[in-house]
Amino acid sequence: MVLKNMKLAFVFMFLLFGTVNAFAADEGGATARQVVEKFQSDLIAVMKDGKKLGYAGRYEKLKDPVSNSHELTKIARIVVGKEWEKLSEEQQQKLADVFSRLSIASYAHNFKDYSGESFVFDSEEETTRGGVVVHSHFVVPDDKPVKFDYMLKEKGNSWRIINIIANGVSDLALKRSEYTTILQREGFDALITKINEKIDNYSKQ
């Protein structure tokens, strides 16, 4: 009896899932909007458990959602601009690696608890270069909402976030200015040291 019920439930869930999928795109590849919304709901879920999880717990829980929705290696390449070519393969690998950890760490640090926040989808538009921008905003109770625009690029049969623009400030542009400046003024090792310092600071609270 129980088994039968479960089976029914499964069938029901499957149907439900099927209809959702039909609305979206062909199976397998998620649309840009789906990628963003999946990531946002994962983030909110971690925020809800944020206090209990602690920094380390949040980091672990966010690791996959962040790496699966963001194209971190490509972002790391863009933020160092033309300096990327001057780096050895080993350095490139190291940068991509440290950069990924920084991205996850900053999410784990900045979204540490929950007080009724939510993400709301606004609209979606295609850019001239074949990307998609998903416009949304982050609702904070008793405060001004924060506009979040996600820029996505197609990778294989899915979409990946490549830039986030919060209230008009582009994360990619900001990081790019910082990273190229540091590379030019102080060199590669200093950049890696500084990123590691940031990750360290994030983990301390």
Partner 1 sequence: MPMNRLHNGNRSVKMKQTFSGLLIGAAIALSGCATTGVVEQPTVANKADPYENFNRKMFGFNDRVDNYVAEPISNAYKWITPQFMQTGVFNFFNNLKNVNVVINDVLQAKFSQSAEDTGRFAINSTVGLGGLFDVAKHVGLEQNEEDFDQTLAVWGVPQGSYLVLPLLGPSTSRGIPGAIFDTAANPASYIGMPVQLVSMLNTRASAEGALKFIDEAALDPYVFTRESFLQWRNNLATDGKAEATDVDGLDDEAPEGDKGAASGHGSSDDAGNKAGFALSMDADTKDLVQARYSFSSVAQSFDNTAKSFEDAGAKVDKLKKSKSRR
The residue ranges that bind partner 1 (CB under 8 A) are 77-78, 81-82, 84-85, 106, 109, 125, 127-129, 131, 133, 144, 147, 149, 151, 153, 162-163, 165, 167-170, 172-174, 176-182, 184-186, 191, 194-195, 198, 201-202
CB of 4 or CB of 204, closer to partner 1 = 204
CB of 62 or CB of 151, closer to partner 1 = 151
CB of 47 or CB of 98, closer to partner 1 = 98
Minimum distance of partner 1 from residue 79's CB (angstroms): 8
Query: Hey, which bits of the chain come out as E strands?
Result: 118-126, 132-139, 146-155, 158-166, 169-170
Minimum distance of partner 1 from residue 22's CB (angstroms): 30
Minimum distance of partner 1 from residue 131's CB (angstroms): 6
Minimum distance of partner 1 from residue 181's CB (angstroms): 5
Length, in residues, of the chain = 205
CB neighbour burial string for 63-96, b if at least 16 within 10 angstroms, e if fewer: eebbebbbbbbebbbbbbeebbeebeeebbeebe
CB of 29 or CB of 131, closer to partner 1 = 131
CB of 78 or CB of 96, closer to partner 1 = 78
Helix axes of 72-79 and 171-186: crossing angle, nearest 10 degrees: 50
92-97-101 Cα angle (round to 5) = 145
Contacts of 131 by beta carbon, 8 Å cutoff, 6+ apart: 151, 152, 153, 154, 162
Minimum distance of partner 1 from residue 177's CB (angstroms): 5
Q: DSSP state, 78? A: H
